């Protein structure tokens, strides 16, 4: 097993990409810290891991709140003694164009997607630095690499995550810590399905999402999870500050 004995925090792991990553890490032997703001979804993932014979705890928390982040890290240390891998996956997607994005939507997007990742990195780095070893994987988006309509604040936030990741990698490359980025394209997660279902014309909305993907389909959470695991694997120990773009050809 690739991650036997390792401890990983996966933020936003109650559903979608985070859930798929949490389950995949567990199946490869990792101790998993499941995090979600929604107790019902996070606890369900923790129970599934336990039912499969894995080790996991669930910690409810909003990563945009520093006290919640401190609680996630403290609970992780209480349960497993250390933190080896941090996966910053939690994020929100609020639509909006440059001319009509509200200040409230801009601020909330930056609070979760950027400040939340910063808080998690800042609180886990001392643990990794003490043992001179650790891996950080930040989930950005193809929106950080390609212009997308109606995703102004989201694109800006994911661009910040991308740049922040390069800065972390440069800062700690000589201290045993790697930081890489995964940039998914359009992935069929529960949140995306909900946006499709709530659209005035769900069929047209689904067709629009499909049209983005030259490969002819949407991605799956499990496919992105495999990229996250690869970036976390010690067999990729020579890789840092790298961007893995898994986007179905969106940037061709």
| Active-site residue set | 154
The SS3 assignment for 134 reads strand
* C-alpha–C-alpha distance, residues 161 and 159, integer Å: 5
Q: How many CB atoms lie within 10 A of CB 94?
A: 19
Q: What torsion do the CA atoms of 131, 133, 138, 144 make, to the nearest 10 degrees?
A: 120
* C-alpha–C-alpha distance, residues 11 and 60, integer Å: 10
Residues 6+ apart with CB under 8 A from 201: none
Contact at 8 Å (CB) between 154 and 197?
Answer: no
Sheet with 177-184, side-by-side order of all strands = 55-60, 31-36, 7-10, 85-88, 134-139, 177-184, 243-246
Q: How many CB atoms lie within 10 A of CB 90?
A: 24
* C-alpha–C-alpha distance, residues 249 and 187, integer Å: 13
Do strands 31-36 and 7-10 pair parallel, antiparallel, or not at all (unpaired)? parallel
């Amino acid at each position: 097993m690739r991650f036997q004995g390792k401890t990983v925090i996966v933020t936003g792991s109650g559903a979608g990409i985070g859930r798929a990553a949490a389950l995949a890490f567990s199946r490869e032997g990792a101790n998993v810290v499941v995090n979600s703001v929604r107790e019902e979804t996070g606890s369900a993932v923790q129970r599934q891991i336990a039912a499969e014979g894995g080790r996991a705890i669930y910690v409810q928390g909003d990563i945009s709140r520093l006290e919640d982040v401190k609680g996630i890290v403290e609970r992780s240390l209480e349960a497993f003694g250390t933190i080896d891998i941090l996966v910053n996956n939690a994020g929100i997607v609020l639509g909006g164009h440059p001319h009509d994005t509200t200040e409230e939507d801009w601020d909330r997007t930056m609070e979760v997607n950027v400040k939340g990742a910063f808080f998690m990195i800042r609180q886990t780095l001392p643990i990794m630095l003490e043992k001179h070893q650790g891996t950080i994987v930040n989930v950005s988006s193809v929106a950080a690499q390609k212009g997308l309509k109606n995703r102004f604040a989201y694109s800006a936030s994911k661009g910040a995550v991308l740049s922040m990741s390069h800065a972390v990698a440069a800062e700690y490359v000589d201290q045993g810590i790697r930081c890489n980025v995964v940039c998914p394209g359009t992935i069929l997660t529960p949140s995306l399905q909900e946006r499709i279902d709530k659209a005035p014309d769900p069929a047209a909305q689904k067709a629009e999402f499909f049209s983005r993907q030259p490969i002819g389909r949407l991605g799956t959470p499990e496919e992105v999870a495999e990229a996250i695991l690869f970036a976390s694997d010690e067999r990729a120990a020579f890789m840092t500050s790298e961007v893995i773009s898994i986007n179905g050809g969106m940037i061709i």
